[in-house]
Structure 1
Amino acid sequence: MNRPDAERDLTLLRRAIALALNSPLPDPNPRVGAVLVSPDGIVVGEGWHHGAGTPHAEIEALRVAGDAARGATAYVSLEPCNHTGRTGPCAVALAEAGVARVVFAQPDPNPTAAGGGDTLREAGIEVAGGLLATEAEAVNRIWTRALRLGRPYVTWKVAATLDGRTSAADGSSQWITSPDARADVHRLRALCDAIVVGTGTALADDPRLTVRDSQGTPAPRQPLRVVLGDRPVPAHAQLRSSEAQTLFLTGHDPAAALAELHRAGIRHVWLEGGATLAAAFLRDGLVDEVVAYLAPALLGAGRPMIGDLGIGTLADALHLDLVDVTRVGPDVRMILAPAGREA
């Protein structure tokens, strides 16, 4: 391939990656964009995935292109899928449409769907994969991490005073942080598939765990609410409202809970449980990201932000890498990841 052709491939692949940004978040499926280009260099079809159960990006582009897809080159931000789920395999659809060449960015990390590149090659189609893979992976950062981990990506969110208290000695906790910080929490909640708390938090705080705007109006799409533990949650609890679906999981095993959620298509968990549940996830190495809001206030007593981690000496402290620090109103939001782990 000469240099002008290589530059053209990169330009069109970046167009496919840009189209992928139109795909919704959150969704159990990856965000994908596709561009079909005729042999004479004319874009004949574009598409992106509109969410679980809808046609994939390649199918959208093929529908737009029609007969012009024959002999075309397909540029796709993610390796065309190779399995039948709610929709058929895109690799087969591209081959049947007569596409002559496929250029994709990120190889598919999903073992169920991977292998599309090989299927295309077996059909006699020229395939180039892995170009701009890092750029494409950034579009599906959390989805990719979840597939590689084999479980949902876990973000632990905590709001505390400067001395690490999540409530005062009398149990009052509304509100430790400012309206600005709370609005930021709702913005980030909306990007997750599920919000997880323990029965302790459910009973002590009676939270709604919904995504709401600044006026308190619930968003049209709500993450799944998940309550982990054995104590019963009363019928009048806000977690039993019709505002959002709630899943009650018995037991206290974070890994088992994540496995069940992963099987259900949950890829990003927003952990809002109290100190005990957060400590259980941290002890088991199941927290991938920490979003901590610190208020410029001191209490000196009250509930701590984290429970016993089984650490007896400073040398064994759980260290975190600081990824970002942002002022949110009067508060500070820190995003961190366990030291040495990808955020």
Structure 2
Amino acid sequence: MPERDFPPTRVAGRGRAWYRGDCHVHSAASHGGELTPRRLAAAARAAGLDFLAATEHNTAETHGAWGRLAGDDLLVVLGQEVTSRTGHWLALGLPPGQVVDWRYGVRDGVVERQLERVHRAGGLCVAAHPHAPYPSGTFMYPYRGFDVVEVWNGRWTSDLPWNADNEAALAEWGRALAADVHRGRWRPAMGNSDTHLEGQIAVPHTVVLAEELSTAAVLAGLRAGRSWIAGSAAVELSFTVAAGGRSAGIGERLVTGDDPAVVRVEVSGVPSGTVSLHTERGRAHQASLPGTGSGTVEWHTSAEESGFVRVEVRHPDGHMAALGNPVVLSRTPLHLPTTR
């Protein structure tokens, strides 16, 4: 039996920054996977990723293969895709060798117990591809207890019969934001490739603001919603809201008082694309990008008009290029619960 070599949980010398990563990746150890961990690591580096999560179907078989493949340029987060009978979910940040049970469905009433097990280990629980059109792929559990929703899985649209309906997942998540923000317990979105084959990794991936390049810091950034989703490494996005001399970025809360709020979006890598801003009233503003793909969009609102603002950037064909978690607006400070 080969010696098990688990990856380190921290990359030294990498401080606070925006890091790109793909948290839904399969090797040949998963059904339908064709790649070795070595090829996945090479592909992640070629795609400009800083981290990836090993999420095999219901096994920790490859956990011990990643130590020799990680390095000072690539963090590997240990995890699992839990393929229960009525929905799949990602357990990220598992202890080496830990496997989460998957042999149940929504009627069994046991998923909460499994979520708590992952949370006790410091891990993150992600509702995966909620609208995947195949048996067990459609997510039937309530989102309660899950930390994050994977609203973008694989290419935005595809002719493949098993491709997730990303538009449906985004619409469902977007509808819930207004009520969730009002309760102070909104649930962030993320995007991953669900890689099984060559050429899939990092399409899309999530860009997260983390205090360092470590498993704990990356998961903390995802849990807080300090992240946005990129269709490729060519896409760059900056999204801020300012009012009364204060400003906030993606996933943060801005206390505006009675001051107007200025929303600012900077985009590159999306030629002739469209930027749209969304609030609890739906799409509130839209602007076009030039043929160079780089541009800045500004829009004015207030906490009275908008409880949150989030951004979408789409290619000319309507396919998503980038998608951000919201900036939450309030006139006065509000204590936020730490549980979801």
Same fold at TM > 0.5: no
**Greater fraction strand:** 2
Normalised by the size of structure 2, how large is the TM-score?
0.28
Bigger Rg, structure 1 or 2: 1
Normalised by the size of structure 1, how large is the TM-score?
0.28
**Greater fraction helix:** 1
